[in-house]
Copies of this chain bind each other. A is one copy, B any other.
């Protein structure tokens, strides 16, 4: 049970240099489940996630959590599409979010050791995080997000650079987190993964939400012709 949901977007738009990156979007994100956002490249998935999380400024409309923003921010984590690594060691990257919260030292160390082994980076703890391979960075970014025990977790294509086994491992981690009460919203281009994980799904096109439905209806009976085309692999933004 999270305390910061539901999240309401009211007529949210993002304009940059006169271009509309995100059309007017209104939606409510309520508790429980795992929402998958799909859509072609450049359709605004990342922009939508960032707007929800509050790292992208909206040009119009409102983003409202159930609690004041400052408080809500405390209970969210975000994994960026291109992982952002602090220029520190792998271990220090994991420590960082805990240190921000003034967690006692030994709790920090146990947590770090625990998460490092969960994502299979226990042998690379002392390596500079910027030197990790693409897939390793993604796993580290995910662990750094989960180590905060967020109530809401945003993931922007977290498995793009992962091999099959890692993908499976991450999916398992996400399921665990979900069972522990974390609300997950993620984008992916892997429709197989989308089907495996989603409880409900959103289809974006040209900055707008074209279709939003529970997973079953979404994948088995797409309503709009665009989504049907997308599933056939026909739409290129």
A143→B108 CA distance, assembly (Å)? 45
Given A41-B135, A41-B163, is A120 in contact with B46 using a C-beta cutoff of 8 Å? Answer: no
A236→B235 CA distance, assembly (Å)? 34
- Out of B39, B40, B165, B233, name the residue touching A236 (CB < 8 Å): B165
Number of A residues near B (Cβ < 8 Å) is 36
Number of copies: 2
Q: Say yes or no: is A68 at the interface (Cβ < 8 Å to chain B).
A: no
* Secondary structure class of chain A's binding surface, majority of residues: loop
Q: Say yes or no: is A82 at the interface (Cβ < 8 Å to chain B).
A: yes
Query: Is A41 in contact with B161, judged by CB distance below 8 angstroms?
Result: yes
24 contacts between A and B (CB under 8 A): A40-B135, A40-B166, A41-B133, A41-B161, A41-B162, A41-B163, A42-B132, A46-B133, A81-B161, A82-B82, A82-B134, A120-B237, A134-B157, A157-B161, A161-B189, A162-B189, A163-B189, A163-B230, A164-B230, A164-B233, A165-B230, A165-B234, A166-B236, A167-B189
